[in-house]
């Protein structure tokens, strides 16, 4: 006999009712410095620099005074455009102490994207390096500023006397910073259109960091290797705020991810935790000298940022000694983590699900059509409610209302199933977002850029499964009338057009010239058919079928 619908357990769960911290990032740092002042706070191995918690707190105060000497006041925006370095951590803490909103700028951005961010964020000052192996940032900034109506008031290079002078500027610290002030603005693809500035408060990230630290069972004895980019939530919240909450040390292995540097950091620092997106773990395990590194100090770690293949997770548990490896799920709009397995959970939970609701967080699986909560075991949209929800998209009330409904539920756009035990198994995404090695790519943004190519008449961008990165970008291009593929335009020409204009990870790896696109009778392009065609044509069926949590 069929079970009556009303007697079936609904896909709703609320995490434990643990206390929320009512303090700012600056207050939290001060408390940690008082508790663990002499202990290591951050080590930047590629720079050869180390700071204790007391020293980091002093550096944050110095930056806060310097910002105030520049005229930066509570609520003003301060941009930070850099790969991983000790200055990143210092700026993060210094902006928080000053009451300024730190705007994370992706180091992969080129002039087109940087100009958009400079304009949209209204930042008053930008901190950056002049150049590195990957880019000449000074030159890119010069091109991006051309024609801007809003001019930066200050540009400060870390490799200049101005940076040192800023930190030795006498003055007062701001009198008041509120817990619901915006601490951080991060640009993400959002739901539609161009990237949106996600506004996260001190309350958001302090408490997400607190609950993460509890989930990892961190103490001041732990050392966390953070190879993920600090400009992402993975880096600046999971990587940083879990440490500030617990007194654990942050270990930066390199400017950008390098598998050997990551394992050297674990070995050399006797680290107890390591983070990464799946592609990073794949690269580390693939090193020919992998077995030469002593990883036995590892206890825990996190794999997140993209679908996590079950077999890869098992290898990390065993071969990297991360027996308490956890999986987490979230998005920038949720500060970011909303579900997480616990370090003490059985392996089955940690390899087949993304865990359960974090403390003070509500999760439901809802019907995309009606919004009603579905029974356990049925697929629907993952929805989130609680302290972790962003303050909104910067300057975009309409976009905010599209994802956060009047009843307070945020619709993530991700599809999942809730088990009877409250754990979530992700099954896909209802939104058209590509996740390449942890980088979110909104196809429309890439499409709009490709439309500026003088030979392109129409373009559709999709994500294809990739064993190493999770997904890669593919573009179908229809040329303007009279132009012939491979005669008047080539795949390499399209790719070269993107170089230096959009971030490297957004550049299509595959370009196919077509004369028409699959569409419904109403004319709506069927992107799933484009993806299915490419999977078949490129023999990606086995990769597409890889099991994930």
* pLDDT tens string 115-144: 999 999 999 999 999 999 999 999 999 999
Convert the pLDDT of each residue in 140-180 to its tens digit.
Answer: 999 999 877 777 999 999 999 999 999 888 877 877 999 99
Please, which pLDDT band fits residue 508 given cuts at 50, 70 and 90?
very high
Cβ atoms of residues 357 and 328 within 8 Å: no
Domains of the chain are 25-177 (3.40.50.980), 434-544 (3.30.300.30)
Instruction: Report which of residues 149 and 321 the model is more confident about.
Output: 321
E strands in 226-307? 249-252, 273-276, 300-303
Convert the pLDDT of each residue in 337-381 to its tens digit.
Answer: 999 998 788 888 888 899 999 999 999 999 988 899 999 999 999
Question: What pLDDT, on the 0 to 100 scale, is given for residue 350?
Answer: 84
Cβ atoms of residues 334 and 390 within 8 Å: yes
Question: What pLDDT, on the 0 to 100 scale, is given for residue 39?
Answer: 98
**Is 50 exceeded by the pLDDT of residue 207?**
yes
Lowest mean pLDDT among 86-100, 151-165, 183-197, 309-323: 183-197
> CA 370, CA 121: separation in Å to the nearest integer?
35
Instruction: Report which of residues 189 and 508 the model is more confident about.
Output: 508
> CA 390, CA 410: separation in Å to the nearest integer?
10
Q: Closest by alpha carbon to 378, among 365, 389, 395?
A: 365
What is the C-alpha R_g of the chain? Answer: 23
Average pLDDT over all residues of the chain: 92
Highest mean pLDDT among 34-43, 168-177, 321-330, 369-378: 34-43
At 406, list the tokens: 């009047």
Question: What pLDDT, on the 0 to 100 scale, is given for residue 528?
Answer: 85
Beta bridge partners of 373: 366
Calculate the alpha carbon distances from 277 to 232, 301, 337, 427 in Å: 12, 11, 14, 18
Average pLDDT over residues 232-252: 97
Residues 6+ apart with CB under 8 A from 335: 200, 204, 205, 208, 233, 237, 388, 389, 390
> CA 351, CA 205: separation in Å to the nearest integer?
26
Residues 6+ apart with CB under 8 A from 520: 526
Question: What pLDDT, on the 0 to 100 scale, is given for residue 430?
Answer: 67
Q: Give me the sign of the Cα torsion angle 242, 248, 251, 255.
A: positive
Residue 386 host element (H or E): strand 380-386
Please, which pLDDT band fits residue 25 given cuts at 50, 70 and 90?
very high
At 524, list the tokens: 């709506």
Other beta carbons within 10 angstroms of residue 396's beta carbon come to 16
> CA 446, CA 254: separation in Å to the nearest integer?
29
Distance of CA 196 to the CA centre of its chain: 13
**Is 80 exceeded by the pLDDT of residue 428?**
no
Beta bridge partners of 425: 417
Distance of CA 539 to the CA centre of its chain: 30
Q: Closest by alpha carbon to 366, among 405, 340, 393, 392?
A: 405
Question: What pLDDT, on the 0 to 100 scale, is given for residue 523?
Answer: 65
Question: What pLDDT, on the 0 to 100 scale, is given for residue 174?
Answer: 74
Convert the pLDDT of each residue in 79-115 to its tens digit.
Answer: 999 999 999 999 999 999 999 999 999 999 999 899 9
Q: Closest by alpha carbon to 445, among 117, 195, 231, 198?
A: 195
> CA 119, CA 103: separation in Å to the nearest integer?
12
Q: Give me the sign of the Cα torsion angle 89, 90, 93, 94.
A: negative
**Is 50 exceeded by the pLDDT of residue 4?**
no
The DSSP code for 519 is B
> CA 518, CA 206: separation in Å to the nearest integer?
47
**Is 50 exceeded by the pLDDT of residue 3?**
no
Beta bridge partners of 440: 435
At 281, list the tokens: 């773990």
Cβ atoms of residues 182 and 390 within 8 Å: no
């Amino acid at each position: 006999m069929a079970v009556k619908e009303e007697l079936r357990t609904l896909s709703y769960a609320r995490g434990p009712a643990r206390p929320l911290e009512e303090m700012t990032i600056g207050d939290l740092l001060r408390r940690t410095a008082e508790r663990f002042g002499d202990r290591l706070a951050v080590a930047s191995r590629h720079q050869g620099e180390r700071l204790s918690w007391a020293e980091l707190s002093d550096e944050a105060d110095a930056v806060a005074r310097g910002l105030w000497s520049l005229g930066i006041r509570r609520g003003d925006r301060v941009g930070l455009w850099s790969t991983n370095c000790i200055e990143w951590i210092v700026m993060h803490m210094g902006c928080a102490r000053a009451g300024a909103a730190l705007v994370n700028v992706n180091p992969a951005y080129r002039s087109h994207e940087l100009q958009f961010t400079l304009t949209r964020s209204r930042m008053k000052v930008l901190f950056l390096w002049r150049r590195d192996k990957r880019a000449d940032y000074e030159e890119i900034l010069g091109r991006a500023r051309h024609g801007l109506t809003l001019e930066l008031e200050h540009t400060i290079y870390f490799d200049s006397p101005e940076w040192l002078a800023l930190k030795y500027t006498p003055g007062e610290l701001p009198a008041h910073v509120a817990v619901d002030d915006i601490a951080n603005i991060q640009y993400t693809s959002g739901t539609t259109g161009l990237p949106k500035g996600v506004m996260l408060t001190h309350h958001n990230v302090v408490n997400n960091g607190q609950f993460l630290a509890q989930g990892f069972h961190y103490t001041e004895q732990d050392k966390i290797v953070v190879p993920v980019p600090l400009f992402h939530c993975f880096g600046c919240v999971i990587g940083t705020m879990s440490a500030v909450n617990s007194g654990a040390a942050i270990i930066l292995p390199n400017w950008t991810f390098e598998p050997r540097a990551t394992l050297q950091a674990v070995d050399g620092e006797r680290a107890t935790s390591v983070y990464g997106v799946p592609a990073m773990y794949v690269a580390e395990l693939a090193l020919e000298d992998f077995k030469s590194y002593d990883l036995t100090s590892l206890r825990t770690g996190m794999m997140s940022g993209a679908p996590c293949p079950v077999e890869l997770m098992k290898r990390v548990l065993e071969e990297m000694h991360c027996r308490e490896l956890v999986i987490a799920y979230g998005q920038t709009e949720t500060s970011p983590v909303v579900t997480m397995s616990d370090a003490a959970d059985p392996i089955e939970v940690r390899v087949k699900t993304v865990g359960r609701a974090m403390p003070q967080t509500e999760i439901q699986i809802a019907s995309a059509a009606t919004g009603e909560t579905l029974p356990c075991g049925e697929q629907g949209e993952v929805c989130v409610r609680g302290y972790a929800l962003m303050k909104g998209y910067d300057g975009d009330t309409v976009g905010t209302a599209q994802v956060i409904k009047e009843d307070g539920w945020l619709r993530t756009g991700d599809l999942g199933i809730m088990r009877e035990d409250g754990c979530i198994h992700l099954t896909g995404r209802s939104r058209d977002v590509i996740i390449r090695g942890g980088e979110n790519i909104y196809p429309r943004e890439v499409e709009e850029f490709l439309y500026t190519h003088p030979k392109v008449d129409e373009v559709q961008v999709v994500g294809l499964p990739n064993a190493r990165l999770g997904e890669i970008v593919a573009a179908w291009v229809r040329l303007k009338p009279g132009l012939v593929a491979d005669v008047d335009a080539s795949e390499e020409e399209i790719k070269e057009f993107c170089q230096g204009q959009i971030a490297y990870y957004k550049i299509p790896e595959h370009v196919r010239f077509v004369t028409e696109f699959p569409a419904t009778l109403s004319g709506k392009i069927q992107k799933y058919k484009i993806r299915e065609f490419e999977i078949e044509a490129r023999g990606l069926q086995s990769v597409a079928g890889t099991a994930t949590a």
